[in-house]
Structure formats: structure tokens, C-alpha cells
Amino acid sequence: MTDFLGALPGAVSQGLIWGIMAIGVYITYKILDVADLTVDGSFCTGGATFVMLFGAGVNIWLAMLAALAVGALTGLATGLLHTLCGIPAILAGILTQLGLWSVNLAIMGMKANMAINLQDKVNLEKLLVSSRFLQEVAKGNEPLWRHPILVVGLFTLAVIAVLYWFFGTELGASLRATGANPHMARAQGINTNVNKVIGLMLSNALVALSGALLSQYQSFSDASMGKGAIVIGLAAVIIGQVLFSKLFRNFALKLLAVSIGAVVYYIVIQAVLSFSEINTNYLKLISAAIVAVFLTVPYWRERYFSKPVQTAKKEGSAHA
């Protein structure tokens, strides 16, 4: 129990960071109804871009903005492969993800990983979020506002606020229409191909931003840091939907549910590791099992619990 409670702040911090990535996945998976596997590569692209620019002395906000822009470019590549070349979205994402492996290595100077030099205290003070802050805040050496949970929580709220505004605009509404009913959207004069590209760019920009925040938190970027990101993103979306679908009807609250879903996912992972003697090499297997469970819950709920209600309604209408 002590180990779990001690690791809980770190699990929540990482969950919030990955929650921003999950919101990006939500845009493609739920809003656009597109299966995009680019995120496994664009997540690392954002982290690698940030680390290299920050290490070169670039202002942290400019470095994060650059990570956001580079992430949007990865989404643009997938979008063009899908819309202009006629490649199915899932294959277009795989192709971009495959190409990004080499791109990410090139960004990091053909090195598998690149660390931020925290021996220089100035670098640590410039960071917005770092795992070191957890220890320093607990010791009283850092103010509470530097706590990763608070900082990333504010980032999450800002992202949700911007997306809530954007999807309320005419362009945002057309994106939602594209995912809900592309045939009807085209009949209304909406260019669905352009909207798919915009949606993929927006999604991967958020994924790259999440990668930049994680690189800050762990103080390095790694070529394989985005491996399995799509699984975590889908897990967060599904967990949020299972837990809050009946409570959160507003669009902003649905995005918040996705972020909370990522936190729950990391807390469950941490609980399994803390309360059992499972080898950490089985972490991917545990992750797959957790996702499978949460994917099964809505199916069982609809099949075994909703069916009698629907049958009763049908019988009532037949008698009428």
C-alpha cells in the first residue's frame, strides 16, 4: 500500500500527460470516425523536436509550439496519403508511422534517445513539468504551483477550452458532420477530404504536444517512447466513455472524461504493479488485458442489460 500511495502522484501526472494525447485520439476515433495509427510516431516526433530545440537554448514555449507544428505536419502527411492517394486511413497512418521512425532518429542526430541536461539547474528551472518537481515539492524545495499535476491539469483545461470553442465554430461543426455522416456532409457542400486532413493535423498536433510534455517530465526523448500510444489513447477514450457516458453529455465534459480515463488507466497499471509481483516486462500484456476488459464492458452492457428494456418497449408499441 505504501508503495502504491508513494507512486500515485507520478501515475496521475503521467495519466494527465497521456490524457492530452488521448484527446487527440478522440478527435480521429470518435469525431472523424477515422482509424489513425500515426500517433505512435507523432508522439515521439513532438518529444524529439522539443528536446533538441530546448537543448539548443530555444525558449521553452517556442520549442513546444514547434513540437505542436511538427505534429500537425505528421497529420498532414497521413491526411494527404489518405485523401489524395486513396490509401485507406489505417494504412496511411501505418506508412507515416513507419517513416517517422527514421525522421525521429534524424531529429535526434541518429541517436536512439536524447536527454535534457538537468545537471545545469537553469534547465530544470525553465521546464514546465518534471518528475523531479514531485520530489522537490514534497521536500518543500519547490512551490506547490510547480507540481506536475497542477501544471498539466491547467494544460488539459486549456486544451479542452480551445477545442470546445473550435468545434463550436462553423469549421468545427463541419468536421463533426464529416465524421457523423460524410454522405450528408458532401450533399451540404462540405469538402470532407479537406476536413479529414484538418482533423488529422489537429489530432496529431495534440499528440505531439503530449510527447513534448512527457519528454519534459521524464527529462529525455526516446525513439520508442510512442510505441503503443494508440492503445493507451483508445484505452483512455473507452474508459472515459464507460465511466462517464451517462453523466457527461456536454462536449467539453466528454473531452474531460477522456483525460480522466487516461488517469484511471495509469492508476490501474500502478495498482497492478504495486500489489502484485508481476514482472514489468509483462506491462504490455497487462495494458492489453485492461483495454480488453474496458472494451468488453460496453458490449456486455448493451447485449445483456439493454436488450430486455428494448424488448419491453417493442412489446408496448405492438400492443398500442
pLDDT digits (tens, 9 = 90+) for 231-279: 889 889 988 888 887 888 889 999 999 999 999 999 988 888 777 777 7
Residue 56 has pLDDT above 80, yes or no: yes
b/e per residue 285-302 (b: at least 16 CB within 10 A): ebbeebbeebeeeeeeee
Query: What's the rounded mean pLDDT across residues 16-39?
Result: 93
- pLDDT, one tens digit per residue, over 110-126 is 898 898 888 777 778 88
Is the separation of the CB atoms in 113 and 222 below 8 Å?
A: yes
Tell whether the model's pLDDT for residue 212 goes beyond 70: yes
Average pLDDT over residues 197-221: 95
Q: How far apart are CA 229 and CA 32, in angstroms?
A: 19
Only one residue has cell 503521467, namely: 14
> What would the grid cell of residue 150 be?
497542477
C-alpha grid cell, residue 237: 477514450
* pLDDT of 314 higher than 80: no
The pLDDT, as a whole number, for residue 21 is: 96
Cα 130 to Cα 159, 210, 250, distances in angstroms? 20, 13, 32
Question: Cα–Cα distance between 222 and 112 in angstroms, integer?
Answer: 6
Indicate whether 144 pLDDT > 60. yes
**Distances from the Cα of 74 to the Cα of 12, 24, 52, 80, 131, angstroms:** 28, 13, 18, 10, 28
Residue 313 has pLDDT above 60, yes or no: no
Indicate if the alpha-carbon torsion angle 220, 225, 226, 231 is positive or negative. negative
d(CA 141, CA 133) in angstroms, rounded, equals 9
Rounded to 5°, the CA angle 90-35-197 comes to: 85
DSSP characters over 70-105: HHHHHHHHHHHHHHTS---HHHHHHHHHHHHHHHHH
User: What's the whole-number average pLDDT of the chain?
Assistant: 87
**Confidence at 309, pLDDT banded by 50, 70, 90:** very low
Count of alpha carbons within 13 angstroms of residue 202, beta-carbon side: 22
Share of the chain above pLDDT 90, in %: 56
pTM: 0.89
Report how far residue 133's alpha carbon sits from residue 146's, in angstroms, rounded to the nearest whole number.
7
- What is the Cα–Cα distance from 46 to 215, expressed in whole angstroms? 9
Task: State mean pLDDT over 149-155.
Answer: 93
Residue 1 pLDDT? 65
Convert the pLDDT of each residue in 78-119 to its tens digit.
Answer: 999 999 999 999 999 999 999 999 999 999 998 988 988 887
CB-count burial class (<10 Å; 0-12, 13-18, 19+) for 10: middle
Give CA–CA dist 262/147, Å, rounded: 19
What pLDDT does residue 311 have? Answer: 47
